[in-house]
Chains A and B, each alone.
Chain A
Amino acid sequence: MSTGKRETWRRVFLLIGRLALAGMFLFAAYAKLKPQAALPWSVASVRTSLSMFAMQVDSYQLLSPQAVSMAAHALPFVELGLGLWLLSGLWLRYSTLATSVLLLGFFALMVRTYSLGLEINCGCFGPGEQLGKKSLLRDGSLLAFSLAVTICAFLSKRKRSESANSIPAAASEPQRAN
């Protein structure tokens, strides 16, 4: 495969990858914030949803109640922000890197909880999903995909930098010859 074709494929993969990751994070944030039990959207119903998410975070038995409350109230907004950042395509290397770091943290936490034998809800996409082999496989695959997108974003940047450097160099050659 020629260098130009490879670069085109890399760009296509990067576009699909970042849009897929953005969609996933936006959906995860929506699932955590949306009102539960057929309640209408309101500040109070979102607060209830966040409190319910706090119970799921708490069931991991890792943080103190204060830290659980803080994490549960911040995480859906972090996911929302990350989703929008990925969607915008700005500073792509950093947004994909942040995504991979976050997914790595989630995955490590899930593996730890599963190995401890705690039978709890995953809380990944709202309530009702049990933490098990299926959710571990899904999150593991997402992490691998995110890492691939991150590597691709870094390679793409390096390629662009190399091309940008080579153009002035090529342009300066004839001048020197003259």
Chain B
Amino acid sequence: MIRRNFHPFSGLILPRFAVVGALALICGAGISAQTHARAQTHAVANSDAATAPVKSLGNRNAPITMEVYSDYQCPSCGNFYENTLKYMIQDMVASGQVYFIHRDFPLPMHPYSYMAARWANAAAKIGKFEAVDAALWDNQQAWSVDGNIEKFVAAAVGQADFKRIKKLMEGCEVNPNASVKPAAFKNNGQEDHGCALDAYIEQDKLLAKQIPVTQTPTSVITAKSQRYPAMPGFVTWPILKQFLASLLSQ
């Protein structure tokens, strides 16, 4: 007689468990993916506010680091950007020889410079600093008349990015240098506690105090961990390039 061994987990039962397990895994993964996607959407919105603005261009490990303390409404700074920094960015920053850092140093004499710095910081938070920085300098004369910076920022970035920048600008709508200052403004109208972006501008101003920076533009160059004396004022591109080349040849 052939004896058949009956096992409760043999035959149909094991495959059924496998199918149920696989289904559970798929459903789990699906739910997880949905949750993750939803979380990611929130994370993008939240991370914009949480991340520090990157107001620099080029390779962080470049042999030369050039920090420029600027005021977006200062004509000399605009001149410096258009005639010198623009070429440096295209040439030595693009080739990885110079790491460029923008530092905000809005001067109280310029009514819209603090507001412009806020827009630049908001753009820097979503990685759109280069485009907005260029737009602010290129249109300096236009927005300096009425303080309408928003339209130039909108033109410089896409619709979606502009929405993100606008979201970051919530609470920063009032110009801190306006003639009628709300009670929240302190320190000669340079601090508005309602705008989260001001912390980054103030941070740059603190760095400026340590150097010390008293005027704009002021360039601070570091090469091979050697910091050179701060250079205030406008410098033409051929002369700056000559200096940077001499640093590279050290």
Interface, chain A (partner B; CB < 8 A):
36-39, 44-45, 47-48, 51-52, 54-56, 58-59, 61, 65, 68-69, 118-121, 127-128, 130
Which of A37, A55, A61, A121 contacts B240, CB < 8 Å?
A55
Extra pairs beyond A38-B226, A58-B239, A59-B231 (4, CB < 8 Å):
A65-B238, A68-B236, A118-B233, A127-B228
Question: Which residues of chain B (87-126) have a CB below 8 Å from chain A?
Answer: none
Chain B: how many interface residues by the 8 Å CB criterion? 25
Question: Which residues of chain B (138-152) have a CB below 8 Å from chain A?
Answer: none
Q: Which residue of A lies closest to B243 (CB)?
A: A51
Which of A38, A65, A121, A130 contacts B236, CB < 8 Å?
A65
B246 to A47, Cβ gap below 8 A?
yes
Chain B, residues 208-233, CB within 8 Å of chain A (1/0): the string is 00000011000000010011111111
Please give me the 3 A-B residue pairs with the lowest Cβ-Cβ distance, nearest first: A59-B233, A120-B233, A37-B226
Once A121-B231, A128-B229 are accepted as A-B contacts, the answer to whether A54 and B239 lie under 8 Å apart by CB is yes
Q: How far, in whole Å, are A55 and B221 apart by their CA atoms in the complex?
A: 12
A-B contact pairs, 15 of them (CB 8 A): A36-B226, A36-B228, A36-B229, A38-B226, A48-B250, A51-B246, A58-B239, A59-B233, A59-B235, A61-B234, A65-B239, A69-B242, A118-B233, A120-B232, A127-B231
B207, CB-defined interface residue at 8 Å: no
- Interfacial chain B residues near A52, Cβ < 8 Å: 228-229, 231, 243
Task: Kindly provide the distance from the CB of A54 to the nearest chain B CB, expressed in whole angstroms.
Answer: 5
A44 to B228, Cβ gap below 8 A?
no
B243 to A48, Cβ gap below 8 A?
yes
A55 to B239, Cβ gap below 8 A?
yes
Q: How far, in whole Å, are A151 and B214 apart by their CA atoms in the complex?
A: 40
Between B215, B226, B231, the greatest number of chain A beta carbons within 10 A of the residue's beta carbon is seen for: B231
Q: A-B pairs with CB below 8 Å: how many?
A: 76
Once A48-B250, A51-B242 are accepted as A-B contacts, the answer to whether A37 and B235 lie under 8 Å apart by CB is no
Q: How far, in whole Å, are A65 and B237 apart by their CA atoms in the complex?
A: 9
- Interfacial chain B residues near A68, Cβ < 8 Å: 236, 239
- Interfacial chain A residues near B20, Cβ < 8 Å: none
Task: Kindly provide the distance from the CB of B83 to the nearest chain A CB, expressed in whole angstroms.
Answer: 11
- Interfacial chain A residues near B231, Cβ < 8 Å: 52, 55-56, 59, 121, 127
- Interfacial chain B residues near A58, Cβ < 8 Å: 234-236, 239
- Interfacial chain A residues near B229, Cβ < 8 Å: 36-37, 52, 127-128
B226 to A39, Cβ gap below 8 A?
yes
Q: How far, in whole Å, are A45 and B76 apart by their CA atoms in the complex?
A: 30
- Interfacial chain A residues near B61, Cβ < 8 Å: none
Which of A44, A118, A128 contacts B246, CB < 8 Å?
A44
- Interfacial chain B residues near A69, Cβ < 8 Å: 238-239, 242
Once A37-B228, A121-B232, A130-B232 are accepted as A-B contacts, the answer to whether A54 and B247 lie under 8 Å apart by CB is no
Chain B, residues 150-183, CB within 8 Å of chain A (1/0): the string is 0000000000000000000000000000000000
Q: How far, in whole Å, are A130 and B233 apart by their CA atoms in the complex?
A: 10
Task: Kindly provide the distance from the CB of A74 to the nearest chain B CB, expressed in whole angstroms.
Answer: 15
A119 to B226, Cβ gap below 8 A?
no
- Interfacial chain A residues near B238, Cβ < 8 Å: 65, 69
